[in-house]
Amino acid sequence: MKVVKAKLEERVCRAPGVESFRFAPAEKIEFVAGQFLQVLFDPAHTDNKDLNKYLSFSCSPERPYIEVTKRLSDSLFSQRLRQLRTGDEIFCKAPLGNCIFTEQYKKVAFLIGGIGITPVISIIEYIIDKEFDTDVTLFYSNRTDEDIAFQRELEHWRATNEHLKVFYTVTDCQPKDARCTFGFIDKKLLQQQLRDYAERVFFIFGPPKMVEAMKALCLEMGCNKESIKTESFIGY
């Protein structure tokens, strides 16, 4: 783990209020798909939780840049992100995190809520970059269909990769998008769409309550505890 200076190359809108930030690091950051970094807007005071926050990598380790993605709020940290312009520099500490993908996982499933999609994008993009034949099923829940981040990328990958299946759920209103279903990720949905769930490694990323609920659901279904990988997103 090291602190590296990185220069902003590009900003990409992923959904209303959700933006990706691509940086060119001064030296290569070796990370594994699923890991995260700490953006340091106040590197002199690393305990400043208002200006130094953790964000997942949202790109494959194979890419020449590093990318992070955030649902922007009114926080000081989000304000600093909004102020960034091409060429601006930040400091980041990386890599961090142990909830990672390895090639040995031949069948995986993701149970994801909201901005928890970011490390999933890193993992799926890496699988595609490396041309692995990993069988991937993603269950991705949002409040509305407008909130679905990275949908364009997910649909492109689904159309071009026979090993990827994606299921969207919307919880707060009837979806306008025919590709989405109304409701939560639940036992019925998983058992209908994931008959081989006992053979899969489950990754669960998102807010703590959602992570705990999905982990409990997996255990209720009889999944092996060792096959459930979790990462709770806090303080964002």
Count of alpha carbons within 13 angstroms of residue 54, beta-carbon side: 15
> What is the residue-averaged pLDDT of the chain?
95
CATH of the domain at 58: 2.40.30.10
Using CA atoms of 192, 193, 198, 204 in order, give the dihedral in degrees to the nearest 10. -120
pLDDT in the model for residue 211: 94
pTM for this predicted structure? 0.95
Residue 235's pLDDT band (cuts 50, 70, 90): low
Domain co-membership, 90 together with 113: no
Reported as half-sphere exposure (CB side, CA atoms, 13 A), residue 65 has a value of 14
How many of the other CB atoms lie within 10 Å of CB of 109?
25
Find the mean pLDDT for residues 152-164: 96
Find the largest Cα–Cα distance for the chain.
52
Residue where a domain stops, chosen among 69, 96, 123: 96
| Distance separating alpha carbons of residues 3 and 25, to the nearest angstrom | 10
Where would I find the H helices in 57-164?
76-83, 117-130, 151-160
Banded pLDDT at 21 (limits 50, 70, 90): very high
* pLDDT for the residue 175: 76
Q: Are residues 208 and 112 in the same domain?
A: yes
For the chain, the C-alpha Rg in angstroms (whole number) is 17
Residue range of the domain that includes 189: 107-232
Q: How many domains does the chain have?
A: 2
Domain final residue pick, 96, 117, 139: 96
Q: With a cut of 80, say whether residue 184 has pLDDT above it.
A: yes
Q: Which of 86, 88, 113 has the alpha carbon at shortest distance from 236? A: 113
Per-residue pLDDT of 2-12, as tens digits, reads 899 999 999 99
Rounded to whole angstroms, the Cα distance separating 219 from 225 reads 7
Q: What CA–CA distance (Å, rounded) separates 97 from 35?
A: 5
In a domain, residue 102? The reply is no
Distance of CA 27 to the CA centre of its chain: 24
CATH code of 225's domain:
3.40.50.80
**Are residues 51 and 187 in contact, defined by beta-carbon separation less than 8 angstroms?**
no
Q: What's the mean pLDDT in 106-113?
A: 97
Among residues 97, 111, 88, which one has the least CA distance to residue 37? 97
